[in-house]
Structure 1
Amino acid sequence: MSIAHHRQKRPQLVRQQLLEVAARLSLENGVASVTLDAVSQAAGVSKGGLLHHFPNKMALLDGLFDDLTQKFDQELDEQMRNDPVAHGRFSRAYLAAVLSLGAQTAQETQAWQVLTIALLAEPALRDRWRQWVADRADEFVGTDSSTNCLLVRLAADGLWLADILQSHDIGADERKALAASLKTLSFQ
């Protein structure tokens, strides 16, 4: 007698596992190598189970985008709650959130690497990121529209990309100094 109908179903765990496997496969072999068959096989989930959560590859990448930006937004909200100065608050939170990406677990770091690479390769994801940025710029136009605040966020993006590409060897002391300089700039 089969016990399949007695197993406890945990759709959120399965969904998260599929996202993690897709991120790992994408990082190891490139975004183009992520197929529904490869993800379902590597995750040990039937293709039907995968299709239940993600009907196609773009839905899988969208799911990864949604998952990571939701976590990023939560980090931003937390950083802003702890900042009593309104001017530049979002920019300082953005800087802190980007800098904290390096302190994440290997899986989270891997997921961000994959998403960043996918943003460069997938026009639909680029559009979604552009919209996320525009929405935040509109939301915080009253406090973070100065040139200095924009410079802080663009520098944070540069640090993010440098970390993902491992293109610069930035020591801990230098990173702290950069963060302090950018934070100071956000108050101006």
Structure 2
Amino acid sequence: MTRPPKARQKVLDAARRIVETRGAGHLTFETLAEESGVTRGGITYHFPTKEALLKALIEADVAQWDDTASTLAADCDLACPKLARLLGHMRCSLADGDENQRRYVSGLLSAAMTEPELLQPLREHVREEFADWRWDEADLERYLLLLAADGLFWTRLFGISPLPESARPRLAALLERRLRALDPAAGPAPPATAGD
């Protein structure tokens, strides 16, 4: 008997909804079968363990992040591909997230804290993404800007950011201008505005 071709994606979509609404601790094969409409046997065919399912969720999230970052970087007109990738990543980190995203990321983070091997797909992605970095002064400056954007993502996610929401777009624009200034082929960066 063959499995329906979309069963794997239905299971992943349902698992994401469960993590968003109830947390990773409530992700069981029973709740997943109920939420997805896929039988327990169909679920375990694709994901033999809860850990395999959580790892697949993280892999899917990394792939979605990459796709979004590529889309956000497509119009950036930066000559350096490394800077374009970095700008896409920064734009993802600085994008407005919703409550579902916050709960989802928090749920996966909670699961990863008890099972650090769940983050292996993310570790591999980071290793690949930075494989061509030389870590010279220019790369250190680029990474500093990335850390700033990621820091804004995490402080906002946990609700501990002192930055007023009205200042976020200005800070995002400032980070982007600083990144663009590192692209030697792009010419001078646009001047700061009075609100910056």
Equivalent residue, structure 2, for 1:129:
122
Which one-letter code corresponds to 2:13 in the other structure?
E
Equivalent residue, structure 1, for 2:5:
11
State the TM-score, normalized to the length of structure 1: 0.76
| Structure 1 gaps, min length 5 | none
Distance 1:122 1:185, change over 3 A: farther
Whether the 8 Å CA contact 1:18–1:39 is kept in 2: the answer is yes
Counterparts of 2:158 and 2:102, CA distance in 1:
12
SS in 2 for 1:74: helix
Equivalent residue, structure 2, for 1:72:
65
1:13-44 CA-to-partner distances (Å, cap 9, x unmatched) read x3333223323333444423322223223333
Report the CA distance between 1:88 and its aligned residue. Answer: 2.8
**Percent pairwise identity:** 24
Distance 1:143 1:21, change over 3 A: farther
| Structure 2 gaps, min length 5 | 183-196
Q: Which aligned pairs between 1:9-158 and structure 2 lie closer than 5 A? A: 10-12=4-6, 14-85=7-78, 86=80, 88-100=83-95, 102=97, 110-139=103-132, 141=134, 146-158=139-151
Which one-letter code corresponds to 1:20 in the other structure?
D
Which one-letter code corresponds to 2:75 in the other structure?
N
1:59-96 CA-to-partner distances (Å, cap 9, x unmatched) read 11122112111111112222333222216322221110
State the TM-score, normalized to the length of structure 2: 0.73
Whether the 8 Å CA contact 1:23–1:110 is kept in 2: the answer is no
Which one-letter code corresponds to 2:65 in the other structure?
F
Report the CA distance between 1:108 and its aligned residue. Answer: 5.5
Root-mean-square deviation (CA, aligned residues, Å) is 3.1
Which one-letter code corresponds to 1:147 in the other structure?
L
Counterparts of 1:27 and 1:65, CA distance in 2:
13
Whether the 8 Å CA contact 1:98–1:157 is kept in 2: the answer is yes
What is the number of residues matched between the two proteins?
178
**Bigger mean CA offset, 88-97 vs 115-124:** 115-124
State which of 159, 170, 186 in structure 2 corresponds to 1:177: 170
